[in-house]
């Protein structure tokens, strides 16, 4: 049974029913706002091709929700549904429409990785320039991207995976360069 108001003993607030659209992922909107302030949308438009028709998704309609999905803990393209079904987050971020997991996968396979790498480099430059630091540590770390693709090699963890070297600016916790190691690439580079 629902009680119309609940009062906590230590925190002075009350709960009440509402018809407003709400979200438990409002913190993800901060990533969206930071990206917009840093000019990431402009970089996406400059580095990624627009759709051939006027009806197709624009590059930022793929990239920005995908980044939010990853920031929110998403591990597979199917996790985009978490953002798709969160009306409050979609309203907060201004996502009027979202591509599905299949559409995102097809878009990524059409050779978007070069443009995405340029956009990531733009973002890294923006963060470095805006930092008050003058010296940085480049931290190169090997990681694995788990996959079910048969062309990927078995890893020491016992799962199929692609191997990637990621270069981070340690003080800013930002990845500045992904490099594939050449193992388990299925005939093409991942980054």
The residue ranges of every structural domain in the chain are: 22-130, 133-191
pLDDT along the chain (191 residues), means of 10: 54 79 92 93 93 86 94 92 95 94 91 88 92 93 83 86 87 82 52 43
pLDDT computed for residue 184 by the predictor:
47
pLDDT computed for residue 45 by the predictor:
94
pLDDT computed for residue 3 by the predictor:
53
What phi and psi values does residue 123 have, to the nearest 5 degrees? -60, -45
pLDDT computed for residue 175 by the predictor:
86
pLDDT computed for residue 95 by the predictor:
95
Torsion angle defined by CA atoms of residues 166, 30, 121 and 165, in that order, rounded to the nearest 10 degrees = 10
pLDDT computed for residue 191 by the predictor:
43
């Amino acid at each position: 049974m629902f009680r119309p108001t609940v009062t906590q003993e230590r925190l002075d607030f009350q709960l009440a029913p509402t018809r407003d659209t709400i979200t438990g992922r409002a913190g993800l909107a901060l990533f969206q706002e930071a990206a917009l302030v840093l000019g990431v949308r402009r970089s996406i438009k400059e580095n990624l091709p627009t759709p051939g028709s006027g009806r197709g998704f624009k590059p930022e309609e793929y990239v920005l929700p995908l980044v939010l999905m990853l920031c929110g803990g998403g591990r597979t393209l199917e996790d985009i549904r978490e953002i798709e079904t969160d009306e409050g987050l979609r309203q907060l971020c201004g996502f009027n429409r979202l591509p599905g997991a299949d559409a995102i996968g097809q878009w990524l396979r059409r050779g978007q990785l070069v443009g995405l790498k340029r956009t990531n480099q733009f973002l890294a430059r923006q963060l470095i320039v805006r930092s008050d630091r003058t010296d940085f540590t480049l931290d190169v770390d090997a990681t694995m991207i788990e996959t079910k693709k048969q062309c990927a090699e078995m890893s020491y963890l016992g799962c199929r995976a692609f191997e990637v070297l990621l270069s981070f600016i340690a003080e800013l916790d930002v990845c500045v360069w992904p490099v594939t190691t050449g193992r388990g690439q299925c005939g093409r580079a991942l980054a």
